A = this chain, B = another copy of it.
Amino acid sequence: MFKVRINRAESESNQETLLQILQKQGIYVPASCGGKGSCGRCKIKVLEGNVTSNSSFGISEAEKAEGFVLACQSFPQSDVLIELPAQLITVSERIALAKAELIENIFKSQPSLFSPLVGKLHLKVEPQEALADFENLKIAAHRSLSISRKLASMLPDFLRQNQWNITLALSEDEIIDFPSKKLYGIAIDIGTTTVAMALIDLEKGKILDVATCYNSQINYGDDVITRIVFSEENPYGLNVLRKCIVDDINALINIVSVRRREGKIYCVVVSGNTTMCHLFWGINPEYIRQEPYAPVLSHYPVWRASEAKLLLDDQIPVYTVPSVAGYVGGDIVAGVLASGLYKSEELSLFIDIGTNGEIVIGNRDFLVTASTSAGPCFEGSGISCGMRATDGAVESFKYHRETDSFEIKVIGNVKPQGICGSGMIDIISELFSNGVIDQKGKLLPDRSKHIDFSQLSSDDSRFIITSDCYITQSDIDNIIRAKAAIYAGISTLLEEMGIKEKELKKVYIAGGFGEFLDVKKAIKIGMLPNLAGERFIFLGNTSLTGAVLCLLSKELWKETNEIAQKMTYIDLSRSKKFMDEYVSALFLPHTDWERFK
C-alpha cells in the first residue's frame, strides 16, 4: 500500500483530476482508457479529505462507502490523503517513482546539463533581398542547419503564412519538423523479459508517463542464448524476433501517445543488452554466441524511426545506448550513467540483476565490467512456481523454528500464485538460517513438516507454501547457482583489480528487484558482499533511467559514449579464477564462511 498526500494548493486549477495531480508527482496510476472513466482501473481510496467525482464506473456501493473513487473522474475539494493499492502499480511503475527523483536531482544540481537531444528553436526570420529562404533561416538561427527535401518543400509557404516566424525541432543541425505541438521523447529499456517505456516532455524535462509490457520474444526463449539460437535455426527467425519487439514497442508508443495528445514524439533513446539491441535493429546476433563473442555493433549510428519500423514520423532520430561487449550491453552503460559512479572519487560496485547479472567496479578513474550468466530465475523464469514481482507473488518469507511455521507477504495481498525474486532469496535465507536446508542447499527431511519427499526424484522434493505454491530442490539448486555466479563475478573482478570488498564505498543495485530485495538476507545466502546495509543503494530500472538522461542531455549522451569506451570488459567464461570462485560460492553462504561473519 502506498499513501500519498495531495495538497489542494498543488492543483493548478479545479479542472485537474486526481489522476493528473498524481502524474505530476511522478505517480503513474494505470488508466488504459486514457482517463475517460471507462476502464475502471484507476480506482483509489480516499482516506482523508473530500473529493467530488463525475463518475464511479465499476465501483460497488460497498467500495464507495469505504472511500473508493476513480482517480480520473475525481477532483479534490480539500487536502486529501490517498491510498494506492499496490496492485494498481506494476513493478516497473514503482521503479519509475524512484527514477523520476534521480533524474530531477541530476538536473537540479547541474542545470547546464539540460539540453535535450531534440530541442525547439523559435526564429523570427528577417528575409534579405533575393536570398534563398533556407539561407535566411540559417542567418536567423546563427548556425548551420540541414533540412530534408520534404520540409524544404514546405518551407516557403510556411514562412510566408506565419509572417516569417517559425519554430524548428532540431536534432543536432538537422531540422526534423516545424512543430506545432509540444516536443516529447521516449526512452525505452528493452529487457530480455520486460520492455519499459517512459514518455518525456523534452521541453520541461519531466517524465509524463510510463508503460511496460512483457517482451513477447519470451515465446521463443527465456534468455538471450535461446533467442540467438532461435534466430539462427529458423529461416526467418531474426525477422520474427525483430517483429516481436518492434510490435511491443509500437503498442507501448500507442498507449503513451493516446494518453498525451498535446505533444508529439520527436526523439527515441533505446537501451538494452547487446542481443536485444541487435534484434531490435534486425541485425544478426549469431556471432555474440560464438567465440570470441563479438557483436556486429557496439556504437550504433543514429538511425531513423522508419528504419526501426517504429510508428513515428520517418525522420525521427533513434539513438541506441552503446554497449561494451557481447554480454555487457547498453543497459549497463546506461546504468553506470544513472548511478553516477563514473564521476565519483569513491570506489563503487554496480550490479544489474536481470536475466544476466552484470557487474561494474570502478570510479572516475577506471571502470571494469563482467557478465555472469545468473539466468532468469530472479525474474521468475525457470523456477517451478517462479513469477515476476507482481500481484500474487510471494515477496517475503519469515520462518519460525519453534513452531515450524511461516509467514508470507504477497504482493497485492491476494492469494499467493507464485514466488518472485525477493521471495526466493527470503525463503532460502530463512530455511538456511533455521537449519531446514544445509550448507549445500539440500532440504533436510526431518527438519520440517512442510517438506514433501514423496516425489519420484529427489530434485522434485519440495518445501510447500500452499498447495499451488512451493519451491523444489532443483529450484533451490538453481537459485544457489545464480547467487554463486553473481558473487563469484564480484569477487573475481575485485581480485583482478586487487581491491578488497571493504574498500567498496557504495553498492548500486539495479534491475527488477527494485527496492524489494532484503540486503541482509541476500548477504546471508552469500549473494552480495558482506558490507554495512547503508552502503547499498537501490536504483530500480537504471537502463530506462539512463536512457531518459540521454534523451534530456546532449552532454550526458556524450558521456554515455565515453563510459562505454572507458569500460574494460573481462571475459569470465574463460577465467580459471572465476571458476574457482564460482565453485566456492555454491555453498551457503560460501566455502569461506568467514567472509560472511
Contacts and interface: CB of A to CB of B under 8 A. Distances in A.
Interface of A: 127, 129-136, 146-150, 152-153, 155-157, 160, 281-284, 286-287, 292-299, 301, 303, 307-308, 323, 325-326, 569, 571
Contacts of A147: 301
A281 B147 CA distance: 13
Nearest to A308: B149
B281 A133 contact: no
Contacts of A569: 130
**Residue of A157, A283, A294 ringed by the most chain B CB atoms within 10 A:** A294
30 contacts: A127-B292, A127-B294, A129-B294, A130-B293, A130-B294, A130-B326, A131-B294, A132-B294, A132-B295, A132-B299, A132-B323, A133-B287, A133-B294, A133-B295, A133-B296, A134-B297, A135-B298, A135-B299, A136-B294, A146-B301, A147-B301, A148-B307, A149-B283, A149-B307, A149-B308, A152-B281, A152-B283, A152-B297, A153-B283, A153-B284
A129 B292 contact: yes
A129 B133 CA distance: 51
Contact of A297 (B133, B297, B326): B133
A296 B156 contact: yes
Contact of A292 (B130, B134, B150): B130
B297 A132 contact: yes
Contacts of A571: 130
Nearest to A133: B296
A251 B296 CA distance: 39
A586 to B, nearest CB: 27
Nearest to A147: B301
This protein's copies in its complex? 2
A377 B286 CA distance: 66
Contacts of A149: 281-283, 303, 307-308
Nearest to A149: B307
Q: Which of A157, A286, A301 has the most CB of B within 10 A?
A: A301
A92 B296 CA distance: 48
Contacts of A308: 149
A313 to B, nearest CB: 15
Contact of A296 (B155, B283, B325, B326): B155
B135 A286 contact: no
Most interface-central of A156, A308, A326 (chain B CB within 10 A): A156
Contacts of A153: 281-284, 296
A152 B296 contact: yes
A136 B303 CA distance: 20
Given A127-B292, A135-B299, A152-B296, 13 more contacts: A127-B294, A129-B292, A132-B294, A132-B296, A132-B299, A133-B287, A146-B301, A149-B281, A149-B283, A152-B281, A152-B301, A153-B283, A156-B287
A134 B282 contact: no
Contacts of A132: 294-299, 323
Nearest to A157: B284
Contacts of A307: 148-150
B134 A296 contact: yes
Contacts of A284: 153, 156-157
A127 B294 CA distance: 9
A286 B156 contact: yes
A285 to B, nearest CB: 9
A548 B307 CA distance: 32
Contacts of A152: 281, 283, 296-297, 301
Contacts of A326: 130
A153 B279 CA distance: 10
Closest 7 pairs between A and B when the two form their complex, measured CB to CB: A132-B298, A149-B307, A146-B301, A132-B295, A129-B292, A130-B292, A133-B296
Given A149-B281, A281-B149, A307-B149, A134 B298 contact: yes
Nearest to A326: B130
Contacts of A133: 287, 294-297
Contacts of A136: 294
B303 A134 contact: no
A287 to B, nearest CB: 5
A381 to B, nearest CB: 27
A420 to B, nearest CB: 33
Question: Could you say which of A134, A146, A157, A293 has the most chain B C-beta atoms within 10 Å of its C-beta?
Answer: A134
A307 B152 CA distance: 12
Contacts of A283: 149, 152-153, 156
A351 to B, nearest CB: 21
B130 A325 contact: yes
Contacts of A157: 284
Contacts of A292: 127, 129-130
A168 to B, nearest CB: 15
A303 B315 CA distance: 13
A295 B127 CA distance: 12
